[in-house]
Chains A and B, each alone.
Chain A
Amino acid sequence: MSDDPDLSTHDSSLPGVLGIIDSTISRIESFLLAAGVLLMALNTVSNVVGRFVFQSSLFFSEELNRILIILITFAGISYAARHGRHIRMSAIYDALPSTARKPLMVGIAFITAIFMFGLCYYSIGYIETQASRGRVLPALQIPVWITLVWVPVGFFMTGMQYTLTAIKNLTSRDIYLSTSVLEGYEETEQEI
């Protein structure tokens, strides 16, 4: 786990206003990732301190971690898509000639995007169902649906990233793993 220079840049490869929006979203995602992880550590340790020093557990500690892990996962999947970091098995793909790799990558990106948009749609439905039933978290007593709002957003942003990847591959000579990452990772330690 060396430094991640590829993660420190937020410069979008999209033109104009789109690029600014894209960079801003990327910044928000990375902030949420970091904040989620730090809050999780703080929350968990506070629970220990509360139990030992104040003889009183934080009843919401576990629920808060559940909320944070959803936030981290769904802010993270689109951030990972942006940086070409989703895990894949590329052995066969890599062995193909570039004339075959390009259409394959376009297909992969489009199909992945379709599934992400589909899951986005159904997760909105799931949230609506939760809201209509009025289920609350037992300790925090807040509605369950609120804890899930990041799910459709994450799926949507991931779908967008893969759509843009497909478009990028269709409009440029090189083959791209994501909007900002060129393929060809066997030589470097950076990519997955």
Chain B
Amino acid sequence: MAATVFLSMIVLLLLGFPMMIPLIVGAFIGFVTMFGGLGQMETMIQQMMAGIRPASLIAVPMFIFAADIMTRGHSASRLIDLVMAFVGHVKGGLAVSTAAACTMFGAVSGSTQATVVAIGSPLRPRMLKAGYKDSFVLALIVNASDIAFLIPPSIGMIIYGVVSNTSIAELFIAGIGPGLLILVLFSIYSYIYAVRNKVPAEPKASWRERGRAFVSALWPLGFPVIIIGGIYGGIFSPTEAAAACVLYALLLEVVIFRSISLMDVYSTAKSTGLITAVVFILVGAGAAFSWVISFAQVPQAMLGAIGITEMGPIGVLFVISIAFFVGCMFVDPIVVILVLVPIFAPVVDGVGLDPVLVGTIITLQVAIGSATPPFGCDIFTAIAVFKRPYVEVIRGTPPFIFILLCVAVALIFFPQIALFARDLAFR
């Protein structure tokens, strides 16, 4: 059954159906075959609701809203001017800054989707103006946001820790090494890209200009203070920080800068709602689809078929990597972790793998998967926010996914990338 379902989904996708239809049809076929008819369709509705319900998802519309207000007003450009005053003269400097900003923002917000919109929407126009190709820019934003999953706090690691009974503190520390490694590799690639594509560098800013840029960015610098200070200072959860950013953005742009009118606020809220709906209906449909996979015990059947219990540790790690990577190409990372981790637990235990290493690998894989076609949710978000065609959003991703997969393989053969910091701190 599984093969038929996947095949029909891919065909519908390629024909150009709205993306929700392949997911809905996949779930629908599952329900009809499992329950011999339409008798249990209400559970499909239940699971679509369950998919959009998690409290952590609320951060997504809030960051979309805040970023949109900042971009329409002055805040975003003043912040970017400040960054440019320091790195504009470096080859690939803007790209590296974007990657670094995604890492930093992702680290605190913990959400890859929120990172795509909050960093991507202000920085993308500037990168285009600087001469980067859109396919590169979109791929950089979508993939750099993956790092958000590896740098603490990471909701993926918390869920893994709870399900697999692993120290979350150790997982958090283990994620930093691979996270920074990816940032470094993305930066190198960005530099090479800038050199090879002859992206022009700007003239070096004087200290006087830098000072002026700093002064003009004083108010907008409140955003990083709210996000980083607020979350680490114990004032906000990431979701609440997102809502606080909305409020601060309104204060700056409507009251202080007077750059946008209340009517603009209304239409921004409307477009935020629209983007949210377009992405969330896919998240909901994906949840219904993954319920079918879980209920039918498809993963158990597949793992049994490949004989995972006969494999050694390296083999098991490869199977885990592939399973999570493929899983997240179709459904939400959290759901994949919840469904697959218990299935792998006995095998991981059996071959004596370090659960912290496994957790780091899994977190990396779900991050990669969420940025990988066909159904990676970061791709949906980028399409909805930047209003670019699907193909354009994914065109530039192969080099990034290649780098990420290299890191994933390296992690299997050199677990010290993750475990070095952990051993230093805990052993």
Contacts and interface: CB of A to CB of B under 8 A. Distances in A.
Interface of A: 1, 3-4, 7-8, 30, 32-38, 40-41, 44-45, 47-48, 52, 62, 65-66, 69-70, 72-77, 79-81, 83, 85-94, 104, 108, 111-112, 115, 118-119, 122-123, 125-126, 129, 148, 151, 185-186, 189-192
Interface string B313-353: 00000000000000000000000000000000000000000
A89 B391 contact: yes
Contacts, number: 206
Provide the main secondary structure of the chain B interface.
Answer: helix
B18 A34 contact: no
A47 to B, nearest CB: 7
A100 B84 CA distance: 48
B20 interface: yes
Contacts of A191: 387
Interface in B1-55: 13-21, 24-25, 28, 38, 41-42, 44-46, 48-49, 52-53, 55
Interface of B: 13-21, 24-25, 28, 38, 41-42, 44-46, 48-49, 52-53, 55, 57-58, 61-62, 65, 67-68, 71-72, 121, 235-236, 239-240, 242-244, 246-247, 265-267, 269-274, 276-282, 284, 374, 380, 383-391
B15 A40 contact: no
Given A4-B267, A37-B272, A125-B41, A88 B387 contact: no
A137 to B, nearest CB: 12
A79 B389 CA distance: 19
B15 A104 contact: yes
B16 A93 contact: yes
B31 to A, nearest CB: 10
Given A37-B269, A73-B277, A44 B239 contact: yes
Most chain A CB atoms below 10 A, which of B20, B244, B274: B274
B45 A69 contact: no
Given A69-B61, A192-B389, 10 more contacts: A3-B267, A8-B267, A33-B277, A36-B273, A40-B61, A69-B280, A77-B281, A122-B38, A122-B44, A126-B42
Nearest to A8: B267
Nearest to A101: B16
14 contacts: A37-B269, A37-B273, A44-B240, A69-B57, A73-B281, A74-B277, A76-B276, A76-B278, A88-B16, A93-B15, A112-B18, A118-B41, A126-B46, A129-B42
